Structure 1
Amino acid sequence: MKKIIAIEAQRLFRPKKHGMEIVALEILKQLKNAAGNDFIYQVVVKEDVDECITSSSNFTVAQLPAKAYPIWEQILLPSFIKKLNAALLHCCSNTAPLFCKTPMVVTIHDVIYMQAGGFKGSAYQNFGNLYRRWIVPKAAKKAKAIIAVSEFAKKEIVAALNVQANKVHVVYNGLNAIYRPCTDIQKSVAFRTEYKLPEKYLLHFGNTATRKNTSGVLKAYIQYCFKEENALPLVISGCSKGTITAIAQRENLLLPENNILYTGYIEAAALPLLYSNAYLFLYPSFAEGFGLPLVESMACGTPVITAHNSSLPEVAGDAALFVDAANPNEIFLAITRLLTDANLYNQLKEKGLKNAQRFNWEKTANQTKEIYKMVLNNL
């Protein structure tokens, strides 16, 4: 009889998905395709509006009531798992229930929240970081195995959580096949028309979390606009104009308002067009556990400016232009260089397309299943 693997993906059905939810969804799609071959899967999510994956043979999705996530994770989830008779619980969201008797595998994407002082964000983000600081060290010790998304993340997990290195297994994130250069001119024109975007622009994903370095991008862009009379517009996706205005006010920045455009949140299906139509992608984070957007941009043929810290050199390889995230002048110079050096631009474009081929979700899911088997064999 096939064993049941329970998989926690609590925020999977939220309408605006970000890193962890995207990773969980892509892995689950692969596991669903092979359900019954090795295991039977029981996915557990929080009730929400975007039912992006459904039940099928040997693959069941259960929705638990939408409560505050500490209550959902520490009370509702273990109570549900207890009734399942599952052989294993895989928690995909950095944290895990502490009083669950089912053996666990925990995916820890990063431990940035464990750093002294940490990186500031919204009130919700700060509360989440406090919760993780308390839960994650205990969950890591309780877990039978930990999945890290990069070698860098593994080293950080071992150091910050005081766990044995042989307990932590690196499984890279993958890449959806939808991320490829757009050669359909009509699609590109329709996309730019819908979002009121120009033919050529710089792209950045805005974020209130300071580690994402939106303020550094804004400082570099202001410098670029000051030096260049016909500066390319900066398109900011993922957050509102009000959020960017608040960041600018906090940093005492005078924004070139007419040059900055906002798309708001863009659904995953439209992201390849956002990347493909951008001339450059600006991703100079202070810290990442993996850095999936830079791989997505490369796969769409758009060169990336990123930072030489954390997992970013590991994931980007030699296919990006690296800067010091703390130095907006370096970001500005990198923008200028790629706008004026056609040879370098084309080299990074080709290297990026090649680098992106290293990542695919089928490989990620298969490696994850091997970890399930290893844990079950060692019980």
Structure 2
Amino acid sequence: MNTRFLLPSKMEGFGWYTYEVTKRIVENHPEHDFIFFFDRKYDERFVFGSNVTPVVLNPPARHPILFRIWFNLSVTRALKKYKADVFFSPDGFLSLKTNVPQIGVIHDINFEHYPEDIPSSARNYLRNFFPKFARKATHLLTVSEYSKQDICRTYSIDEEKVSVAWNGVSDAFQPISETEKEAVRARYTNGKKYITFVGALHPRKNVKRLISAYKAILTDDPSFEYELIIVGETLWKRSGYDLDLDEQTKAHIHFTGHLSLEELARVMAGASVFAFVPYFEGFGIPLVEAMRCKTPVLSGNLTSLPEVAGDAALYCDPLSVDDIADKLREICENPALRDELSQKGIIRSQLFSWDQSAEIAWNVIENVLSKTS
């Protein structure tokens, strides 16, 4: 198993997916032995059972040149050394130099549609190698029906080769009391109600348009009573992604950077509205986190987001600042709508579970093993 994204204090999307799925697979199947491939010193908390053998493979794979060395040389040799029956890769990267059956989880292929959003070195690697990974894989997993159709269409992959397993949601995300909400507001917004966004500060997350919409509301109505909390860090170093905020808008926007899971859950549950308007998303776990917290959701209406949020969100056109602003104002000023979305959200959130995600992943692994043994 490729576990290179299990990094203490640096867990993001791939890391949490790897954690939630591999932990359950290991714990549910003590009759099997698992080899975890790390690319640096690992934390013992990520060795989930006595049936796990942790192995550090060099070099640390955080650059396209090092990706090639790690997957095509280090992983290939380790698969042979440990006589692996199958290689499971939660981030979709595979070895092109092994005959061992491989299962890749391709979450989305945003880089095919918006290559300009990604630094050139990463962009060139992803667009060159992911079609090869998709063809090389014995089977693929992805996280939404939207992503499945996109992968199959873009890479000319047979639909039978791709299985869908929706992401789950951490139990840390739960509704909180009004007293707890007041404490969160006191900490972050000097007691004021707030809208929140959670996600990497990456162009496709569309934070620029969200902030422009928020600014438009403030300009039109300076008494607008909601602050804006942005939770997340820049995904790509030196990406040139600059939000370019004026001082008046800055006074009402609060950037938290990375938060612990527990603190993130409190901020999400304390929000009056969760605004999530990416123009491209393979799944959108924060939608489910918000719904689990009973926080009303404003969502973009493109790619996978309607599949995930269903009838439990108010939708907007993420490419239109005016529409984002109109819908944001609508949800903030309509308590009956917020209450309706809260109730629908808590019901819909029950459709998503990491237990189910891990079970589907394991069924794929077993199916591959049965065909190759």
Q: Shared fold by TM > 0.5? A: yes
1:256 aligns with 249
For 2:28, which of 34, 37, 44 is the aligned residue?
34
3-state SS of paired residue (2:103): strand
- 2:118 is the counterpart of 1:118: no
CA contact (8 A) 2:202 2:241 kept: no
Letter of the aligned partner of 1:82 in structure 2?
K
1:90 aligns with 88
Letter of the aligned partner of 1:278 in structure 2?
A
Q: CA offset at residue 165 of structure 1?
A: 0.8
Distance in structure 2 (CA, Å) of the matches to 1:255 and 1:192? 20
The 5-angstrom pairing of residues 1-379 of structure 1 reads 7-13=1-7, 15-37=9-31, 39-48=32-41, 52-69=45-62, 70=67, 71-115=69-113, 118-121=115-118, 123=119, 126-183=120-177, 185-186=179-180, 188=181, 191-192=184-185, 195=188, 198-205=191-198, 207-231=200-224, 232-239=226-233, 247-249=242-244, 256-379=249-372
Flag the 1:245–1:46 CA change in 2: closer, same or farther, 3 A. closer
3-state SS of paired residue (1:374): helix
Distance in structure 1 (CA, Å) of the matches to 2:294 and 2:217? 23
Q: CA offset at residue 271 of structure 1?
A: 1.6
Letter of the aligned partner of 1:198 in structure 2?
G
CA contact (8 A) 1:321 1:334 kept: yes
Flag the 1:119–1:304 CA change in 2: closer, same or farther, 3 A. farther
Deviation string, structure 1 residues 326-377 (Cα, Å, up to 9, x no partner)? 0011111111111111111100011111111001111111111111111111
Distance in structure 1 (CA, Å) of the matches to 2:111 and 2:92? 11
Distance in structure 1 (CA, Å) of the matches to 2:110 and 2:242? 21
Flag the 1:55–1:361 CA change in 2: closer, same or farther, 3 A. closer
Letter of the aligned partner of 1:365 in structure 2?
A
Distance in structure 2 (CA, Å) of the matches to 1:60 and 1:192? 45
The two structures have a TM-score, normalised by structure 2, of 0.90
Letter of the aligned partner of 1:162 in structure 2?
S
User: Root-mean-square deviation (CA), in Å?
Assistant: 2.4
Letter of the aligned partner of 1:92 in structure 2?
P
Q: CA offset at residue 264 of structure 1?
A: 1.2
Distance in structure 2 (CA, Å) of the matches to 1:209 and 1:85? 40
Q: CA offset at residue 195 of structure 1?
A: 4.8
Q: CA offset at residue 162 of structure 1?
A: 1.3
Flag the 1:50–1:274 CA change in 2: closer, same or farther, 3 A. farther
Distance in structure 2 (CA, Å) of the matches to 1:65 and 1:176? 31
3-state SS of paired residue (1:248): coil
Q: Which runs of 5+ in 1 are unaligned?
A: 1-6
Flag the 1:227–1:45 CA change in 2: closer, same or farther, 3 A. same
Percent identity of equivalent pairs: 26
Distance in structure 2 (CA, Å) of the matches to 1:169 and 1:328? 35
Distance in structure 1 (CA, Å) of the matches to 2:96 and 2:144? 25
Q: CA offset at residue 190 of structure 1?
A: 5.1
Letter of the aligned partner of 2:195 in structure 1?
L
Letter of the aligned partner of 2:242 in structure 1?
I
The two structures have a TM-score, normalised by structure 1, of 0.89
3-state SS of paired residue (2:115): coil
